[in-house]
Each structure stands twice: as C-alpha cells, then as structure tokens.
Structure 1
Amino acid sequence: MTSPTPFPTGTILGYPRIGPRRQLKKAVESFWAGTTTAAELEDTAVALRQATRERLVELGLHAGDSSIPGSFSFYDQVLDALCTVGAVPTRYASLVDSEGSIDLAGYFTLARGEGDNLPLEMTKWFDSNYHYLVPEIGPETVFSLSSDRIVREFAEAKAAGYITRPVIVGPVTFLLLSKASDEAPTGFSPLERLDDLLPVYAALLGRLADAGAEWVQLDEPALVSESLDAPREDALAALERAYASLGALDTRPAIFVAAPYGSLDDALPVLALTRVDAIGLDLVRGDVPHATPGLAAKTLVAGVIDGHNIWRGDLAGAFDVAQRLSGLAGRVTVSTSTSLLHVPHNVDDETRLDEHLAGWLAFADQKVGQVATLARGLTEGRAAIAAELAAAADARDARRAAPGVRDGSVRARAATLTEADYSRGDYQARLHAQACALDLPLLPTTTIGSFPQTGDIRRARARHLTGALTDEDYRRLMEAEIARVVALQEEIGLDVLVHGEPERNDMVQYFAEQLDGFAVTENGWVQSYGSRCTRPSILWGDVSRPRPITVAWSTYTQGLTRKPVKGMLTGPVTILAWSFVRDDQPLADTATQVALALRDEITDLEAAGIRIVQVDEPALRELLPLKTKDHADYLDWSVGSFRLATAGANDATQIHTHLCYSEFGVVIDAIRNLDADVTSIEAVRSRMEVVADIEAGGFDHGIGPGVYDIHSPRVPSIGEITDLLDRALESIPERQVWVNPDCGLKTRGYTETVESLHNMVAATSAVRERIGAVVPA
C-alpha cells in the first residue's frame, strides 16, 4: 500500500449508538413487536448515524480526516463481527441465505433465540457493564465475508461528505472471546481457526480500501486481559501472525489497532514490530509505555480521556501524558481511552443536577470536546489551550472542597471496624436455624426479585415524579400491584415469594435516590446490552443511609402471605459497578461506606420480621481486574464489603445473593467466601456449564443455577427445565439446589413470564416426585 494519510490528531474510539433519547432502542423494539418494518428500522439507523456525524463535527472532530469512528451497531459489536465473517452456529443455519448472509430479523434471532434454539450466550465485556454475545466456533465453522454492512455504512457516510473510520472487533479478540461450539472436540480452542479467519478480514479490508476508506480500526481489547482461557503465549503468537498477515496486504486502509481497558504490557512489543500503522493505548487504566522497538515507525494514539467514567478529570495531566510520549513514536495523537458507549450523551441534557456537580462532569459530548482541545494543544502548543486547562483544574479544586464529598461521621464509623464485623459465624448452625424457621421443601422454588414492569407501573412512577400523583395515591397503586404479584406467585406455587419491585425504577438507582452521596440523572442512559439501557447513578460523595429504604414495602408484602418473602437489596459491589463512582479515593473505601448503609437496612428488615434477605451482587465478576496481579486485592475488598453488609444478620435469617453473566470458575473461591446461605446464578445460556465449576470447587452452600433465561422472550418447556435440573443434580447434592430463573423478570411480559414460571414449578414437582422429596404441608 502507499503511505497512509496521517492519523487524525484527535479522535474517539466509539460513540454512544442508542441516540440521546434512546431512539435506537425504541426503533428496535418496535421492529421486534412487528409494528415497524426492517426498512423503517434501517431508516432510523441512517438518521441516527447522520446525526452522530454532524454532532461530532460540531464538537470538534473533522468530516474528512477519519477522526469520526463508524462504530454503530443495531445490537452488539461482537454479533456484528460474527455476522460479517459468517460464523453463524449450525443450529441457526436456516437463517443464512444462499449467499451466506443473514438479514436483520435473523441477526436479532441469534441474540434472542427462537423456538427450541437458545440464543447466543451473553457475558460481560471486560470490566464494563456492557454485555456482548459470545460466538460459538468449532472446526465446522465456515468463515466467509458474509456481510458488507460495514462497507455500506462507510459509503453512506462518504456520500454525505464524511470520511469515517470503519470499526470492527479484531480477529484475535474475536476468537479469544469465542467459545468452542457444541460440535467441537474436547480441548478445542477457537484460536486454532485464526488462519482460516484472516482471509476474511483481508477481503473486508480490500473492500473498504476500494470504497475509499483511509483508516480502519480493529479493536483488540483482549490483548490487555490476562483473564481469558487461552494461554498468554498463544494469544501473543496469534497477534503476531494476524497483523503480520494483514499488515502485508497490498490493498488495505491504514490499520489502527485499539487496545482499551488496560495496558498492553508484553503485547506492545509484539504489535509494534508488525506492519500496523497506529496503535491505541488506554493510558487511563494502563501504564505509559517505555521505549519499544518498532514504535518509532508508528502513530501512537494516546487514550488520555477517560471513556469509562464521567468525571471532567485532570485535563492538564492528560496533556502532559500525551506530550511525554512524543519521543516514543513517530507521531503522537490523542483519543479517549475506550469507546464512549459506556457514558451518556450530554451533561447539558441534565436540568435537575446540582449546578456545581454538573460542572465536575463530562459525558460523551464533553469528552469529545476535551479530545478536540488536547488535539489543538498538540498542534498549536500548550498556550493555545491554557484557558481550558485552567477551567478544568478549577472544577477539580471546587469538587474537592464541596460539602458532602467528605463526611466525618461516615469516616469515623468505618475507622472503628474490626475483623468481627465481617463474620457471621458457623454455616452449619445457620443451616439448622434456617431449616427450623423456614420449613422449606427440597428444591425450593423462587424468583430473583423483580416482576414485569407494565406500562401502568411506569406511567404511575412518572406521574408521581412530576407531582401529578400524590405520595399516598402512589403508595396505594404500588401496594395493589404487590398484592397482585403475591397472589400470582401463590397460584403458580412458588415456595419463597418476592414483592416484585414495582416501586423501583432500577436496582441501583432506587437505592441511590435514597442514600446520601449519590445523584441521579434524567437522560443519562447507557447501553447495557441490545436494547437494554440503564441510567447509572453518580456516586460523588461519602455514603450514608438517612432512613430505612425497603422495610415498609417488605413488611406490607409479608403481611399478605404465610410463605416467606425475600427482602431485596442491591449489594455494595454492584452499586459501585453500575454507578459512575468517585475517582478521588480507593474503591474499597467507597464499598465500605455502601456496605455499612446496607448493614443497617438488613438490621431493620430483620426487626420487621423478614426472614430471608437477598443482597444481589451480579457485578462481582464484572469488576475483577484484567491483570492477575490485581485480583487478590480486589477480591479481598469486594468480598469483604458483602460480608460487612450481611455479617450482622442472625443465624435464622437466610442471606441470599445473585450473580449473573460471569465465568464463575474464575471467582468460585470468592463466591464461597461471600458466605451467603444461598447463591443464585446464571446457567441457562451456558447450558449448566457452571455446575462443573461448582462441583470442582467443593461449594457446599445453597445454590440456584438458573433454569429459565429471562433475557430471551422464548418460553422454556417443562422438559427443557427438567433436563437442566437433572444436569444440575448430577453434580450438586439435592439438599443444596434451589430452582429459579437466571435473573429478574422486570424486562419480560406477563404472558411469557407466567407460562415460564408455571413450567418451572411443574418441572420441579416432577423432579421432586422422582427423587421422593416430601413437600411440607
């Protein structure tokens, strides 16, 4: 290839794709509901992409220099790569047309399932709260360039006057994030198929070059992680082979390899010696590199603006880091550390935030502006951006001195904690006390907590928020919904009931609204997976609980039934993981403060007669550092915060927790050390693979491997659930097993939920009968 056009001086690795008002979510769900056509959905996507390009130019990027990334996706970037290279599982072969392509309806079917065919497994994207779909690769997988969507989207932008930078998951990360297909032999690694996959990437690069693309971004975040299944030496060998091959192509755009979420470490020297043209480093989570052979011929893209969090940050410090790199590479430019899909669109959309707090923040649009500022400084010199650097420093100083950032009483309480505050006592004694108090059958059935949130519930909450519904009227409406959900659970035949959480907008935001030290947003939506969006709360100060939060709702619910009702809390690690957390103190300190607030809540629930309390920690695995050397410290404080929250409970109080979308084998010891009496976990999409980890780990507490995948609209049959239960009971003693869905039911409809839960109870009854279990009268 000829010498590449210079890489843009300032860029971002990706931009939120859902739209400022979740336009994509609404359009996709309308397509799923059959109320709009695929063509109408495509039209919405075209408009969103054009609006994004226009906005990014307005914020300081440039239309013609490849600084605007083509990072749009209808659902998930890994699913996009899968469809591009034709890696459709054999069970979905009927979705593929004669040319090897898959249409939009088929694309969504892979994500959501159809009939008896389960969807692709879903898991966390590195240490973020984004979820990706896991490709299934085996010797039988036939790779081919099966979708030219990425080329068409580039051509669309070019026709509108923009030279964008197409973005796709790189070949090494694609395979490292894949799992072996059902047809693969034991011991097979998807990485073995690299040589078969590379020609497809080569063909794609050729098509992009022919279309006029000057740069292409290949995302290789797997290179920063030490927590993947493949041996590190195999990953590095694959990296060298992949980019030696792609770099040698005669017809290709210039290649920019982006490696967000941490340091490349020993992968950087390997990548630097290949023929890629630019390398992107995460210098927020990662380290500033040393002199490395090969970098002098590369553009080094310094990820100095935090794409993972929403603080305005130290802009002068970011500029200094970029300048320090000038001697390491042929050229240095600036970018965000990660894609901005992890942050909301625009602080200016928030009309209810305290004005001082708003001044400390930078959402996606503000971060694009910061990148543009730093790029101007690199071009024109520090003096040209002195005013912007000073304004950012003033905001940081104001934040440090603001009331509530430090609370002396909160800090004094944390300082007096002893080892005894983190321990409940003997598990066997608790087991006996709980058996006497609860009198539950073998294989107890329950749900994870939430029930479907209907339009009526959401409208009532919105009216209450605006004052159109009084507190008393709102309470009565919610109590009526709770009574309906309790009656439904009684009719279905569940053993341990929940109140359904109709009063909760979100499992973290609900608590954030009632804890000191938090703020919530109006329009701060970020994508969690597919069309699922959340509004992470902003944890800006020291945390305390001014009053009980859940006690009244739980007490009301328990008064409706003789069966035990679970009190429902969100755990400290998950509250941190699913919020934008303060960056001015260690996470461990913040977790301790949240744990103490939850400990007080559990004490009050016990006093009100609640005998089971569930403290959800679905994010425990999510925050596990990508570097092995950091695991021990993280697991120490994360497990410790859960134990601090729950250790004050009486022996007869059964403590539950819930975890989802995790590689549990990695953290099985940590799960055991939580010392929860019962742990429920995701298990359906992995087809109960997790039970092998449970058996191998010698886990002896109660365990509820999920038997109903709530992230798909399909209803599991009695036979399917029975089969999953049988698989679980092959490895786990029956006395330990609970029966439950994978996760909460908030996002599901009532028709599918009721049918699925009936099937779950029927399957449980059949298994109980077969093993001779006695159900208490």
Structure 2
Amino acid sequence: MLKHNLGYPRIGVRRELKKACESYWSNKIDSNQLFDVGKQIRKENWKIQEKSGLDLIPCNDFSFYDHVLDMSLLLGVIPKSYHSAVSSTTMMIDDHNIDIYFAMARGFQKRGWDIKAMEMTKWFNTNYHYIVPEFDKNQKFGIFSKKIFDEFEEAKIVLKSIPKPVLIGPVSYLFLGKEKENSFQKMDLIENIVPIYIQIINLLKDQGANWIQLDEPILVFDLSRKEIESFQYAYQEISKCCSEMNILLTSYFDGISENISLFRNLPIKALHIDLVEDPEQLESILNFLDNNTKKMILSLGIIDGRNIWKNNYVNSIKKIEIAMKVLGEKRVMIAPSCSLIHVPIDIEYEHSIHSDVKKRMSFAKQKIYELKDLEDVIKGNKNLLSKNLNSLEKTKNSFLFYNQKVKERVTQIKNKDFQRKSSFKIRQKKQQKKFHLPIFPTTTIGSFPQTKEIRSLRNKFKKKELRKEEYEKKIEKFIVDVIRKQEEINLDVLVHGEFERNDMVEFFSEKLKGFLSTDNGWVQSYGSRCVKPPVIYGDVLRYKDMTTKSICFAQSKTPKLMKGMLTGPVTILQWSFVRDDQPISTTAYQIALAIRDEVKSLENSGIQIIQIDEPAIREGLPLKKKNWKFYFDWAIKAFRISSSVVKDETQIHTHMCYSEFNDILSHIADLDADVLTIETSRSKMELLKAFSEFSYPNEIGPGVYDIHSPRIPTVKEIFDLIQKASNRFPIRNIWINPDCGLKTRKWDEVMKSLKNMTRAAKMAREKLLNNNPTPSTNSS
C-alpha cells in the first residue's frame, strides 16, 4: 500500500515566499535571491515529507504565484502583449521567465507600456484564486518554461526516492481557461495540446521519472459530450504514447461516480478519488474497477486536505479495508483528499490554542504523518488507534464546544426573520429621498492600505506593548486621516478604512465565542496574499458590539454618509475551518444571528448604510448541480437573517468578487441586498451582460478598476466601463467603485486611482445623463 501526497503548502512556515516575492516586486532583491528562497522552501518541504515516510513525494507543486499560471508558462500560453512588453523593457529575461510570469499575474506598467493583469477567479469551490488562461482559435502550444524539469532534477538530489511530478491535466487546463473570441470552443484545442503533454511526460521519463500525477478535477462535474470526448481522446493518446510512465490521474473536491465509465479500457496506472467530500462513492468505484479493470490502482483520499481536524482512524481504516478486500493490498494507495495548499503548515507553531481544541487539530505536516499511522494500524499497531480515539473522544463534551442558549435561538428562527419589511422598489424610493446621492454615487469596498505602521501598531497592541486607550487613539487618528483623504477625493459614501482589522474574517472571529485565531495558520489565497482562516470549534455567540464604536466615531467626523462594514455569515463560514460535528447550516445560522445583532446595533446608533460582504457565497456552492438547492436554501437564509432586521430606510450593501456568477444570478437576487458591488474590471465588464439579460432588479456597483494590480487606471478607461454599464442598467441603479478592498495597495496608487475614478464619475454625470435624461429606464 503506497502512501503519497498530492501537493504541499508552498508559502513557507514563516511566509518566506510572500516576503521574497514582494521584495522582488519592489526591487529590494534580484531574481537570484528570489529563486534561492524558492529553492529553500522546496528543500524543506521535500525533507519533511520524506521524513514522514511517504512513498511518493510530489514535485512541481511549488509555485511563485499560481500553479495554473505555471502551466500556462510551461505550455507557452502567453498573450503576446506581455511577452512584447517585458522583452522590450528588461535587459535580460532569466531562464525562468519570471518577469513575463509576474506581468501576467499583476499587470505591467513601465516605460510606456500599460498592460492589465490577466483575469483571476476562484479555484473550484475554494478560496484559492488562479490566473485564467486565455486561448485563441489558432492557439499554439509548446514547451516554454523549464521549471518542471529543473525542479525534478532538484528533487532527485534532495530526496532518496524518485519524486512524482505534478501537472494539471490537459482537459482541466482547457476547462479552466477562456476563449478570447467566440468562433471556437476551448475543448477544440485538445488535439493541439495533448502532443505537448506527451512531450513533457516523455522528457520527464528520460530524466528518470516513473510516476507522474495529472490532476483532472473537472471529473467531478456533469461533463458535456465535448468534454467527455476530449477526456477520452487525451488519455487514450497519453496512455498509448507514454506506456512506460505510471500515470496517476487525480480528481478531488467531490465524487466522480457519474464519470467512472470513462475509465473503461483506459490503461492508466492509478486513479485518485476524494473520499472526504464524497465517501459514498467508494462502493460504486470499487464495483466498477473490480468488474472492468483488473490492474488499475485506486488511491483513497481519506485525509481531509481542506480542514484542520484530526483524521478519525476508525472511519479511515474501514474504507482502506473495504478497498483492500476488493482490490488487494497492492492495488490500494492512500493520500490526502486533495493538495494540502488549503491548510496551514504545522500545528507545532501554535502556542496559544486551548489544549482541548489543539488535541483535535492537524495541519499539513501532521496530515502526512497520519498516513503513516494508518499504514501502521493496518499492519497491527492498535495503540495508535486507541490514541487517536482518545484524542477525539476525550474533549467531545467539553464546555468549550457547546452553548445551549445559542442552540435554542437557532431553533426559534421564524420565516419573518428572513424578510425585509418592504420590497426593493419601496425601499429604494425611501432611501433616495433620505440620502440625496448623485447619479453614479462613488464609494469604495471598505478597506484602505494597511501600511507597516498600522500593522506594527496592531502587533504592539496584540503583544500588550500598548494600552487599549493609547491604541484606540492612534487608530482614530488613522480613521480621521482616511476620512479627510476620501473627502479630498470627493467620494460620496465613505468608509472608516478598517485599520483596526487584520483580516475581514479573522477580525470578527476574535470577537465571537466559538472561534479561535491561530498564530501562524497561514494559507495562500492568491500570489503573495496569505490569510489566516479562523477555526470554528464551538457554538457561535456575539457577546458585545464588534464594530459600532469605530464606525460611529468615523461618522461623527464627517457630514457625509459613512458605511458600516461587516462580513457576512456565509463568507465567515467559508473562510474559516469549520467544526465537523454538526450540520454546516446550523453553524451558518449561529453566525448569521451574531451578525444580525451587530447590524441592529449599527442602525440603532445612527448608521444608515451597512455593507455585509459575501465574496464567498459562490465558492461555497457544491460542484454538482443536484446539491445546489440545499446549499442555497441555507446560505440565502443565513444572509437574510443577518440583513433583514433593519428599517426600509437603512440601505444594505453586499460585495462579491472573482467568481463566475452567470448560473446563480437568481440566487444572488434572492439575497435582496439594496446594492450589490461586484468584480468586473478584469473581465472588461463581461459579467454585466449576464446581469443585464437576467434583469437584475436592485442597485449594482460594477468594479471599474482592478485593485489586485499596481497599475493606475486612466479616467478614460473608467469612463468607458461606466458607459458600458449604463448601456445595460438604469442609470439610477449604478454605483461607481473599485472591484475589491484597497488593503493590499499603496497609498500613492490608491489616491491616483480613486481620483481618476471620481473624475470619471463626474464626466459620466455630465455626458451620460445628458444623453439619457430618463435614468429610471433601462437604456440597453
């Protein structure tokens, strides 16, 4: 029984990769220094996995920004503009083509070149973001980058065993991309791309590889006929031309039972399935393999690659023994359910977690050791089984986990708790009469730059080097300063800047019972952006105001409207590691009731506009449509519990970003937020077509510039985007805003960009309103 891993966190225990990348981008280190940091992280990762006793250790799972972008660079899927710009402004492109790579991810503004970053969206139903490949009809593929080959050689030197290279499979890679024109379908490119995969695999074989992992998470979807044909063609060709290579084909994030027939007569060596997300698929998969192929190995994904709780060895051993009974020991492998990039690295770096909770937790390093434990239990070590059971059962009834009053409040939720008092049309009239905002009102999504000074201030307060009163006074100075900046920019609706907040979820978790924050539980979100997801271990209770004091202070310093800023219940849930001992809907309602109480507190204190962000509502969506109804039932109810407590005159905003919304628009409308702000700038407002065709009924703020790139948008390009929006929506329903919060940007970029945004809004009021004197009608 082989033990293997699909991928290991690449940020470094102390976020070394983040710091190195950001130093490179700011010209503080050169590319050689950057590559040295990457090399050290890889070496440490390989050594940890080797020490754990893994039989197959992955390589090429490391990335300086994003593994999908790595694949684009490897295959030469590089828009000409990036290649031309970097080549003309860089003295010499290094062997890793790192400047082209980062230009694609972050945009490029240098020596007369001004190129936007490529589109970014969520990786399936996770909070990880990937850079979307772009294909044209005559797309050429080739081997452009040497990274995968260099890292294989590097791993061979470090490891005693032969490493297992990891690649996104050809069908999923095409699926994840987008066509730059409408005259073809991306799956039409399968015959062009497969020969390059074959070349790559054979080159790795020549280097000594005997296993290669091809990730095809697309298999969890309801596949179209075209996708099925593409899959069958791709793997018949790969199997035929790479017969000496052991192909491990992996899929994860859900079950593949509906697509298992694709593997009939497919001579791949091993198939990996996710038994955490869909444990019920095991029986049908085993039945198929037993009746249709007598050689294929089955890899059981039994360690949760997306959550931080210890594995239940009893449950896992049952699955392993069932598989071994049908297939035999040699045809069974065990692994985490998916890559471990979705969990923190090492629980041993946590020193402030209550021991009753910590005993139940397991991070990436611990998870790969759990595989060794399971192997030893199978071989007869029953002490490990008893130890595991004790750690899970001992704390089961701890007072830390349960609060009877919270549980009773959830059972008392009534239908009226999900409903605003009046319809949107009635609310809109009342709000317009109350606020007197101009056409195309301007605002931001919430956060402003978190400078070193602010982070240092929060850190000193956390370490108790600053008294609470002194800390709050300093934060108030930052709030006043950002209000003056917004007034200077002439924004219409202001925010307080969120300087007291470390993260939009972690901040609230620290003020709610039933949550804990880790010290070093960092997880990559995109590029150098890392988050520290809180842990929901018990019943959730709001026991005091969380934001009211700072928001009311901010409102007292300006005559303009000040938004209250909250994170919604679904996002708090999705961006946390959630307890696994009760239905997820119950936990969602507990959080929703806590946010509801905060919303009411803000309204009672005079705050008239409240934003409840739900950027994660799309990513929580099950990958199979048959499971959507159940998800939306509780997710929409959770949002409406939190938002429906206010009067008609109080305006509720929500924000969503970097997701595909086309197929869930009716559910977004069911949230019934007065104003929805969304990301549309990277896709050049393509998303608005879907919202328009759906006739989205409420007000909308399409993001007019991309905050994830350092480039400064021009007044003209922002105006053009506003004009596009005004061709599709009633002018009175359009807000003007960036596409996300400004926390990660620098002040110089922010001020220039927002000034251009407000100038563009003013231009739109002058030009577009004159052209459309009846803004209440749709001009599309």
Q: Is the TM value for this pair above 0.5?
A: yes
Give the one of 259, 264, 268 matched to 2:251: 259
1:649 aligns with 2:646: yes
Q: Distance in 2 between matches of 1:443 and 1:725?
A: 9
Q: Structure 1 residues 757-766 or 97-106, which shifts more? A: 97-106
Moved more, 145-154 or 607-616: 145-154
Instruction: Name the residue aligned to 2:407.
Output: 411
Quick check: 1:518–1:537 contact (8 Å CA) kept in 2? yes
What letter corresponds to residue 285 of structure 1 in structure 2?
E
Shift of the 25–317 alpha-carbon distance from structure 1 to 2, 3 Å rule, reads: same
Is it true that 1:325 corresponds to 2:319 in the alignment?
no
Per-residue deviation, 1:429: 1.7
Q: Secondary structure at the match of 2:554?
A: helix
Unpaired stretches in structure 1, ≥5 consecutive residues: 1-7
Q: Residues 3 and 56 of structure 2 are in contact (CA less than 8 Å); yes or no, is this contact kept in structure 1?
A: no
Query: For structure 2, which runs of at least 5 residues remain unmatched after alignment?
Result: 774-780
Map of 1:3 onto structure 2: none
- In the alignment, what sits opposite 1:79? 69
Assess if the C-alpha contact under 8 Å between 2:167 and 2:215 holds in 1: yes
Q: 1:51 to 1:272 in 2, by over 3 A?
A: farther
1:492 corresponds in structure 2 to 489
Task: Say yes or no: does 1:17 pair with 2:13.
Answer: no
C-alpha deviation, 1:387, in angstroms: 1.8
1:604 and 2:594 aligned: no
Identify the range of structure 1 (663-672 vs 749-758) with the bigger mean alpha-carbon deviation: 663-672
Q: Output one character per residue of 1:279-302: Cα deviation in whole Å (capped at 9) or x when no partner.
A: 110010122142114442111110
**Kept in 2: contact 1:516–1:545 (CA 8 A):** yes
Change in CA separation of 1:178 and 1:47 when aligned onto 2, cut-off 3 Å: same
User: Secondary structure of 1:657's match?
Assistant: strand
The answer to whether the 8 Å contact 1:70/1:164 transfers is no
Cα distance in structure 2, aligned partners of 1:265 and 1:317: 20
Structure 2 residue matching 1:626: 3-state secondary structure: coil
Query: Which runs of at least 4 in structure 1 moved beyond 4 Å after TM superposition?
Result: 95-102
1:148 Cα shift?
2.1
Tell me, yes or no, if the aligned pair for 1:86 and 1:143 is still in contact at 8 Å: yes
Compared CA separation, residues 142 and 252, structure 1 to 2 (3 A): farther
* Distance across 2 between alignment mates of 1:375 and 1:245: 35
The answer to whether residue 56 in structure 2 is matched with residue 66 in structure 1 is: yes
- What is the Cα deviation at residue 375 of structure 1? 2.8
TM-score, reference length from structure 1: 0.95
Residues 487 and 448 of structure 1, relative CA distance in 2, 3 Å threshold? same
2:778 match: none
Which letter maps to 1:428? Answer: K
Alpha-carbon shift at residue 626 of structure 1 (Å): 0.3
For residue 250 of structure 1, report the CA deviation from its aligned partner: 4.5
Q: Find the aligned partners of 2:534 and 2:395 in 1 and give their Cα distance.
A: 17
Deviation at 1:664, TM superposition (A): 1.2
Aligned-partner SS, 1:19? coil
Match of 1:681 in 2: 678
RMSD, aligned CA: 1.7
What residue in structure 2 maps to residue 4 of structure 1?
Answer: none
Q: Distance in 2 between matches of 1:250 and 1:738?
A: 55
Question: What residue is the counterpart of 2:103 in the other structure?
Answer: 109
Please name the residue that 1:176 is paired with.
Answer: 175
Aligned with 1:401: secondary structure?
A: coil
| 1:53-97 alpha-carbon deviations (Å, 9 max, x no partner) | 111122232xxx433444111111100111111111233241687
Tell me if structure 1 keeps the 8 A contact 2:304–2:336: yes
1:233 and 2:233 equivalent?
A: no
Q: Distance in 2 between matches of 1:148 and 1:161?
A: 20
2:201 corresponds in structure 1 to: 205
- CA shift, 1:313, in A, is 3.1
Deviations 1:367-407 (A, max 9, x none): 011012123344x2xx22x2222222222223421113221
Q: Does structure 2 conserve the Cα–Cα contact (< 8 Å) formed by 1:540 and 1:581?
A: yes
What is the correspondence of 1:599-638 to structure 2 with a 5 Å cutoff?
599-638=596-635
Taking structure 2 as the reference length, the TM-score comes to: 0.94
Q: How far has the Cα of 1:449 moved from its partner?
A: 0.2
Q: Deviations over 1:293-346 (max 9, x none)?
A: 444211111000100100113121012112211244460010000100000011
Q: Deviations over 1:616-667 (max 9, x none)?
A: 0000001000011000110111011000101111100000000001111121
Tell whether the 8 Å contact from 1:295 to 1:329 is kept in structure 2 after alignment: no
Which residue does 2:123 correspond to in 1? 125
Mark the CA change 1:480 to 1:374 in structure 2 (over 3 Å): closer, same or farther: same
1:38 aligns with 2:35: no
Aligned position for 1:375: 375
The one-letter code of the counterpart of 2:358 is A
Partner of 1:191: 187
Once residues 247 and 236 of structure 2 are traced to their aligned partners in structure 1, the CA distance between those partners, rounded to angstroms, is 12
What amino acid does structure 2 have at the position aligned with 1:57?
E
Aligned to 2:263: 271
8 Å CA contact 1:508–1:570 kept in 2: the answer is: yes
Q: Distance in 2 between matches of 1:138 and 1:10?
A: 40
**By how many angstroms is 1:99 displaced?**
12
Greater CA drift, 565-574 or 188-197:
188-197
Q: Which moved more, 1:483-492 or 1:33-42?
A: 33-42
Quote the Cα distance in structure 2 between the aligned partners of 1:642 and 1:281.
Answer: 33
8 A contact 1:100–1:146 mirrored in 2: no
SS in 2 for 1:540: strand
Task: Give 1:235 shift.
Answer: 1.6
SS in 1 for 2:214: strand
Aligned residues: percent identity? 40
Aligned-partner Cα distance in 1 for 2:529–2:283: 37
CA–CA separation in structure 2 for the residues paired with 1:90 and 1:133: 16
Alignment of 1:697-712 (within 5 A): 697-712=694-709
1:595 matched residue in structure 2: 592
Contact 1:277 1:299 (8 Å CA) reproduced:
yes
Alpha-carbon distance between aligned partners in 1 of 2:144 and 2:108, rounded to the nearest angstrom: 22
Residues 224 and 259, structure 1, Cα contact 8 Å, conserved in 2: yes
Matched residue count: 753
| Residue in structure 2 matched with residue 749 of structure 1 by the alignment | 746
Q: CA deviation at 1:180?
A: 0.5
Find the aligned partners of 1:304 and 1:109 in 2 and give their Cα distance. 38
Partner of 2:391: 395
| 1:476 aligns to 2:473 (yes or no) | yes
